[in-house]
C-alpha cells in the first residue's frame, strides 16, 4: 500500500494512505476498482477504474445480423434484460418501419415493469447486505424468486430472456400466466409494506443513509445523471412520461421524487417506484385479460431485415435512461450500435460524493447508486 506525502497543518508533512477498494472487495462484485487516498479514515480522493467486465458488445454487433445480435443485448444489463431487448428492438423497428401490435406493446410493458421490480429487489437486498444487515436480502429475494419463476415459465429462462422479436414478442401470455402474475401483484402489494416497516424508520438504517452522499440537483444535471438517482434530487424526469413509448401514455401512474438527494432519498424513490410498477403491471394484466389481438406482426421476416438510416430508442430502465442508437447502411447487419446507460454516469460522480467522507461511507454511497458494471463496461 503506497504512501504519499502532502502538506498538513502548519506545513507539517502528512501521510496519505493509498489503498485499493476492489476489485476483490465483495461489495464491488469483482468488477470495480476504487483507488482511494485516505487521511486517517477520511477519504481525500477516489479514482474509479473500470473495464474489468468489458465484453465488446457494441463491436460485436458489426459482425452479426440483427437477429444474431438480438440474444446478446440482454447482457448489457443482466438484471434488466427486457429493457435491453426493448431498446434494441425499438430502434430497429423504427428503422425498418415495423409496427408492433397493441397487445404486444402491453405484454412488453408488463414484463418490463415486473423486471423493474425484480431489479430493484436485488438492489435493496444487496445494498442492505453492504450496510451490514443480513436478513432483508431474504425478504427481497423471496419476492424476486416469484418473478423469476414467472419469467422462467414464460420464456424458459430466469435471466437473459431473449423474448422480444422484431414486431412483437415470441409468444402470447396464457390465462395461467396472467393469473400467476395477478396473484404475485396482490402478494407483493402487502410484502412491500414489510420492507418499509423494517427499514424506513429504522434508526440504524437512518444513521447510515440520511444526510450521507448528498447529490445536488445541479451536480446531477452536470453529470448527466438519470433515473432514480436524478429523481432523488427533486427533478421529475421520467421518459415514460416525457417521451412515452409503447403504451405508457395510456397507463395511469406517478413519478416518485424526493428532494434531499442523499442515500435515504434514493432508497425512498426506489421503494415508491416498485409500488408504481406494481400499479402499471396490474393495469396491463387487466387489459390483456379483457382484450385480444396479435402478439407479433407475422409479416416480419427477421432473417432479411436490411434497413438504412439511423434511429435511437429512449427507455426508462431501472438504473436510468437507456439509449440504443443503431446506424444501418442497407445491409443485413448494423454498421454501428451505440449504448448509453445510466450506470456509467453514476460511477463518474463517485469522486465528488466520496470526498471528505468517512471510509465506512464508501459502500453506503456507492451501493445507493445502484450501479451494474455490465452496463458500464459493455
Q: Supply the CATH number for residue 165's domain.
A: 1.10.645.10
Residues 106 and 33 in one domain: no
Residues 45 and 101 in one domain: no
Let me know whether 239 and 364 are in one domain.
yes
Kindly state whether residues 119 and 247 are assigned to the same domain: yes
pLDDT for 169-185, tens place per residue? 999 999 999 999 999 99
Least confident of 17-31, 108-122, 293-307, 317-331: 17-31
CA dihedral 255, 312, 294, 300 (to 10 degrees): -170
pLDDT at 2: 56
71 and 33 together in one domain: no
Do 92 and 29 fall within a single domain? no
* Distance between first and last Cα of the chain: 30
Confidence check: pLDDT of 11 > 70: no
237 and 310 assigned to the same domain: yes
Average pLDDT over residues 147-157: 93
Do 166 and 211 share a domain, yes or no? yes
* Domain co-membership, 8 together with 63: no
Same domain, 80 and 21: no
Residue 117 and residue 277 in contact, taking contact as beta carbons nearer than 8 Å: yes
Domain that holds residue 37: 3-49
Residues near 26 by beta carbon (within 8 Å), at least 6 away in sequence: none
Average pLDDT, the chain: 90
Asked whether the beta carbons of 54 and 376 are under 8 A apart, the reply is no
Alpha-carbon gap, residue 281 to 320, rounded angstroms: 19
Q: How far apart are CA 79 and CA 240, in angstroms?
A: 20
Residues 342 and 235 in one domain: yes
If one counts the domains in the chain, the total is: 2
Shared domain check, 102 and 20:
no
Question: pLDDT for 187-206, tens place per residue?
Answer: 999 999 989 998 999 999 99
Amino acid at each position: 500500500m503506497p504512501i504519499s506525502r502532502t502538506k498538513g497543518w502548519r506545513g507539517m508533512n502528512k501521510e496519505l494512505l493509498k489503498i485499493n477498494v476492489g476489485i476483490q472487495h465483495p461489495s464491488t462484485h469483482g468488477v470495480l476498482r476504487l483507488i482511494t487516498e485516505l487521511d486517517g479514515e477520511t477519504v481525500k480522493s477516489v479514482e474509479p477504474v473500470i473495464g474489468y467486465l468489458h465484453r465488446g458488445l457494441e463491436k460485436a454487433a458489426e459482425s452479426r445480423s440483427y437477429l444474431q445480435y438480438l440474444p446478446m443485448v440482454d447482457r448489457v444489463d443482466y438484471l434488466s434484460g427486457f429493457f435491453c431487448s426493448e431498446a434494441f428492438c425499438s430502434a430497429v423497428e423504427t428503422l425498418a418501419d415495423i409496427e408492433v401490435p397493441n397487445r404486444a406493446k402491453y405484454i412488453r410493458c408488463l414484463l418490463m415493469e415486473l423486471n423493474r421490480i425484480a431489479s430493484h429487489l436485488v438492489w435493496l437486498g444487496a445494498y442492505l447486505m453492504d450496510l451490514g444487515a443480513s436478513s432483508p436480502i431474504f425478504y427481497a429475494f423471496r419476492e424476486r424468486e416469484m418473478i423469476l419463476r414467472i419469467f422462467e415459465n414464460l420464456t424458459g429462462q430466469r435471466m437473459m430472456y431473449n423474448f422480444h422479436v422484431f414486431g412483437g414478442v415470441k409468444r402470447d401470455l396464457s390465462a395461467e400466466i396472467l393469473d400467476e402474475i395477478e396473484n404475485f401483484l396482490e402478494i407483493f402489494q402487502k410484502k412491500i409494506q414489510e420492507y418499509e416497516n423494517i427499514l424506513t424508520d429504522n434508526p440504524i438504517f437512518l444513521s447510515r443513509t440520511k444526510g450521507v452522499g448528498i447529490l445536488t440537483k445541479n451536480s446531477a444535471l452536470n453529470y448527466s445523471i438519470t433515473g432514480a438517482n436524478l429523481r432523488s434530487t427533486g427533478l421529475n424526469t421520467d421518459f415514460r412520461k416525457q417521451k412515452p413509448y409503447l403504451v405508457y401514455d395510456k397507463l395511469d401512474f406517478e413519478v416518485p421524487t424526493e428532494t434531499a438527494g442523499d442515500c435515504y432519498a434514493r432508497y425512498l424513490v426506489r421503494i415508491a417506484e416498485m409500488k408504481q410498477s406494481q400499479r402499471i403491471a396490474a393495469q396491463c394484466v387487466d387489459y390483456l385479460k379483457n382484450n385480444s389481438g396479435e402478439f407479433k406482426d407475422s409479416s416480419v421476416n427477421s432473417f432479411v431485415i436490411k434497413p438504412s438510416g439511423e434511429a435511437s430508442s429512449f427507455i426508462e430502465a431501472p438504473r436510468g435512461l437507456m439509449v440504443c442508437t443503431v446506424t444501418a447502411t442497407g445491409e443485413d447487419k448494423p454498421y454501428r450500435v451505440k449504448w448509453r446507460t445510466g450506470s456509467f454516469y453514476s460511477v463518474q460522480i463517485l469522486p465528488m460524493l466520496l470526498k471528505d467522507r468517512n471510509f465506512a461511507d464508501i459502500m453506503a454511497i456507492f451501493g445507493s447508486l445502484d450501479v451494474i458494471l455490465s452496463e458500464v463496461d459493455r
